[in-house]
Amino acid sequence: MAETVDILLTIPNEQAKRYHEGLSRQTGFHLHIAHSMDDALDILGDKNNHVDVFVIDQAIGDTFFFLNHLRRKYPRLLVILVDEEADFGMPGQADEFTNEPFKNDDLAKRITKLMSERRMETLRSDSLPAVRNINQSIKKAAGILGKIEASVNACIEQGYDYVAYYGIDSQTPLKLTLKAQAGPKTIQSIAPKEATPDDLMGWVAQNGQSRIAGPEDKPNHILVSRGRLGAISCVPVSFSNRSFGVIAACKDRPGSITQEAVLMLELIAAQLATALTKETK
Mean per-residue pLDDT, 170-193? 96
Mean per-residue pLDDT, 122-143? 77
Task: State the pairing for strand pair 53-57/194-195.
Answer: unpaired
Percent of the chain residues topping a pLDDT of 90: 74
Q: In CATH, which of 3.90.230.10, 3.20.20.70, 2.50.20.10, 3.40.50.2300 is domain 5-124?
A: 3.40.50.2300
CA 14 from chain center: how many Å?
31
pLDDT at residue number 134: 87
103 pLDDT band (50/70/90 cuts)? very high
Reference 248, options 259, 236, 258, 256; nearest CA is 236
DSSP 8-state code for residue 209: -
Largest CA distance in the chain: 59
Distance CA 33, CA 57 (A): 12
Distance CA 23, CA 112 (A): 11
Q: According to CATH, where is 3.40.50.2300 located in the chain? A: 5-124
Distance CA 197, CA 61 (A): 33
DSSP letters along 3-17, please?
PPEEEEEE--GGGHH
Backbone angles phi, psi at 56, to 5 degrees: -130, 135
All residues at 6 or more sequence positions from 124 whose CB lies less than 8 Å from its CB, including other chains: none
Q: According to CATH, where is 3.30.450.40 located in the chain? A: 128-279
Q: Answer for the pair 84, 98: CB distance below 8 angstroms, yes or no.
A: no
Reference 194, options 186, 203, 182, 202; nearest CA is 202
Backbone angles phi, psi at 237, to 5 degrees: -110, 100
34 pLDDT band (50/70/90 cuts)? very high
pLDDT at residue number 76: 84
Backbone angles phi, psi at 82, to 5 degrees: -110, 125
- Which class does domain 128-279 fall in? alpha beta
Distance CA 111, CA 118 (A): 11
DSSP 8-state code for residue 159: T
User: Which of 40-49, 69-78, 84-93 holds the top average pLDDT?
Assistant: 40-49
pLDDT at residue number 124: 56
Q: Answer for the pair 150, 138: CB distance below 8 angstroms, yes or no.
A: yes
Asked whether the predicted pLDDT for residue 264 surpasses 80, the reply is yes
Asked whether the predicted pLDDT for residue 87 surpasses 80, the reply is no
Q: Answer for the pair 70, 106: CB distance below 8 angstroms, yes or no.
A: no
Average pLDDT, the chain: 91
Taking the C-alpha atoms of 70, 71, 77 and 82 in order, what is their torsion angle to the nearest 10 degrees?
Answer: 70
Q: Answer for the pair 276, 144: CB distance below 8 angstroms, yes or no.
A: yes
